[in-house]
Structure 1
């Protein structure tokens, strides 16, 4: 992978590790933001889902370019964004199935924080992350790959 992707993977790993350590609904910095601005929820979960769309979209972009899987840029963007959205939806189904199969309180397991639209917001955050990554950073990313003669 390019240095750009390795840096993004590092940031994404930090987001995942912090969320795994503190739980996405109880991240201290975002609790402070929630309290300071009188927000109804801790938004670290949304940041995590945004990153789950942003970073994998650019990883997929690099793999597809390197392997010459989809040559035309427009089709590559379409494929990546909707694949990321599909994976996000699958992950939300997986969370739901795990909550049902374990018999645990789905609110505690899923971390919905009382938001009935949490699953939809999670998928939208991931979708938005993939769109911003591809439309905002893919040209920069492609120039980085050209410097490596790919």
Structure 2
């Protein structure tokens, strides 16, 4: 179909690419490089490239020890949306979450990202919560796979 390449974050260049994609899509909660380096220790982070062009990133938060809930977040940069790339990134993250023992899958979308919200709803997610981070004015929407 395409030459989409999705790889686990490995090395400083990929940390920077993941950070760029995250911060472009979640401008209300920008992460520093140190934040990303810390997250890669506890979550499964991947970056997606079409050829050599960065198109997005993903996060899989593994299930916690007290629950089988994992969070799968697929992010596609606006210029690369509506090409099926998000579906491929999401499917890979979903498979990873299930490998890690997830029985319940959730995701989170910034309210100001209507493309992301529609994507989640088209893939079977339903809203379960909305919340603001301290100092923010744009809510995050938590969704669960029905």
**TM-score (norm. length: structure 1):** 0.29
Looking at secondary structure, tell me which structure has more strand per residue.
2
Looking at secondary structure, tell me which structure has more helix per residue.
1
| Larger relative contact order, structure 1 or 2 (CA cutoff 8 Å, min sep 6) | 1
Computing the radius of gyration from Cα coordinates, the structure with the larger value is 1
**TM-score (norm. length: structure 2):** 0.30
